[in-house]
Every structure is written in C-alpha cells, then in structure tokens.
C-alpha cells in the first residue's frame, strides 16, 4: 500500500492537470480503504443518514471488505439502508453476492424488493428467471412491474406464458411491459 501511495503522491506533481486530478481522486479512495473500520462502525451504530452516506461513500471502491460491509447493511433494520445496500451490491455486479440479492427479494419492504429485482437484472443470468417469475406474484404492483421489465430484458422464452397472462390481466403498465417482453423474447 505504501508503494501505491507514493506513486499517487508523486503523480500529484505531474505537468498534466488531468493526471493530477486522477491521482488526487485515487489517493482519496486509497485513504478511504484505510478507514474501513470507521465505515464498519458507522454502519453498525450510526443513524440512518450516516449509514446511507457510508454506503454511497464506499460503493465506488471494490474488494471483499466493501462487499462484506454492503452485505451486512442488507440486514439493517432501516428500509432505506437495506435498499441502498442492495442497489450498490447490484451496481458492483459481483456474482458472489447473488445469494444476498436473491434473499432481498423476500424482504418485508416492497421498496427493498423493487430494488432487489432491479439489482438482479444487472447480472443477466438465465438461472435467475425462476426467482423473477416468483416476483410476478408479489402483492406490490411496483415489484411486479419491475419483474416484468427484468424478465423482458432476459428475453427467455420460458416466461412466454406469464407474459401472455399479463397482457390480458395486468394493469396498463403491466400489459405494456409484458407486450414489450414478448417482442424481446427469443423465438
């Protein structure tokens, strides 16, 4: 880490303004890594705003420590904190957190379930179709709409019957999403 830090500090004196700005940003992120214990404490004991700032603050970083903290935050009592953690786990796109995102589909909060559906779709994994199909039975229309959109993005023909059902029985937004999905599906 010291070697990396020295390279970044040296780059702060570069002739090119863009190089200096990039070095400063990278140095800031490196310094953030050294404060991981503080971030962990913030997530464990902070108020909602502190937890949200921490989640969005660490989310540009990569690595096991960041994923571990975000996975922990998915279990937070605060709905907004859980939703933010799920969103950022999806943004990371690391398949090691798929099981956590699948668990979030069963969260008591419809907001968290909606965000979990969106997060899962970033993976484009055909094996996730079954979980998304289950979300079509959710009691929250917003969750169903996001699941319809996600299934459409997957384009998997196995969802054809469900999409046809929603073209006939769904609300207008659901019908539109199901129709769009039918157009995107493989033949």
What pLDDT, on a 0 to 100 scale, did the predictor assign at position 8?
85
Query: In terms of DSSP H, where are the helices of 93-140?
Result: 98-104, 110-121, 129-135
pTM: 0.85
Q: Indicate if 40 and 101 belong to the same structural domain.
A: yes
CA distance 173 to 148: 10
**What would the 3-class secondary structure string for 19-52 be?**
HHHHHHHHHHHHHHHHCHHHHHHHHHHCCHHHHH
Helices (H) and strands (E) in the chain — how many of each? Answer: 12, 0
What pLDDT, on a 0 to 100 scale, did the predictor assign at position 32?
82
pLDDT in tens, the chain (187 residues): 588 888 888 889 889 999 999 988 888 888 888 888 999 999 999 999 999 999 999 999 999 999 999 999 999 999 999 999 999 999 999 999 999 999 999 999 999 999 999 999 888 888 899 999 999 999 999 999 999 999 998 888 999 999 999 999 889 999 999 999 999 888 7
CA distance 147 to 16: 47
What CATH number corresponds to the domain at position 86? 1.25.10.10
Q: Indicate if 89 and 160 belong to the same structural domain.
A: no
- Give whole-number Cα distances, 148 to 4, 33, 107, 137, in Å: 46, 38, 19, 11
Sequence-distant contacts of 53-57: CB under 8 A, at least 24 apart: 55/81, 55/84, 55/85, 55/88, 56/84, 56/88, 57/32
Q: Indicate if 72 and 15 belong to the same structural domain.
A: no
What pLDDT, on a 0 to 100 scale, did the predictor assign at position 150?
93
Q: Indicate if 13 and 54 belong to the same structural domain.
A: no
What pLDDT, on a 0 to 100 scale, did the predictor assign at position 1?
59
How many independent structural domains does the chain possess? 3
Q: Indicate if 43 and 102 belong to the same structural domain.
A: yes
Q: Structural domain of residue 110, as residue ranges?
A: 35-123
CA distance 83 to 177: 23
Q: Indicate if 14 and 44 belong to the same structural domain.
A: no
Neighbours of 135 (CB within 10 A): 22
- Retrieve residue 29's tokens: 């992120």
CB of 172 within 8 A of CB of 164?
Answer: no
């Amino acid at each position: 880490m010291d070697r990396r830090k020295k390279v970044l500090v040296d780059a702060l004196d570069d002739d090119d303004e863009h190089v200096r700005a990039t070095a400063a940003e990278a140095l800031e992120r490196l310094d953030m890594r050294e404060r991981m214990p503080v971030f962990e404490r913030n997530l464990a004991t902070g108020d909602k705003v502190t937890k949200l700032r921490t989640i969005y603050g660490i989310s540009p970083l990569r690595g096991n420590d960041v994923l571990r903290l975000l996975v922990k935050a998915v279990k937070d009592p605060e709905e907004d904190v859980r939703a933010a953690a799920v969103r950022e786990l999806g943004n990371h796109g690391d398949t090691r957190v798929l099981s956590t995102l699948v668990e979030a589909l069963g969260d008591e909060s419809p907001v968290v379930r909606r965000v979990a559906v969106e997060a899962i779709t970033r993976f484009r994994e055909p094996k996730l179709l079954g979980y998304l199909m289950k979300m079509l039975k959710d009691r929250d229309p917003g969750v169903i709409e996001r699941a319809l959109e996600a299934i459409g993005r997957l384009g998997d023909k196995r969802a054809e019957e469900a999409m046809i059902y929603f073209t006939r029985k769904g609300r207008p937004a659901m019908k539109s999403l199901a129709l769009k999905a039918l157009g995107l599906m493989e033949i």
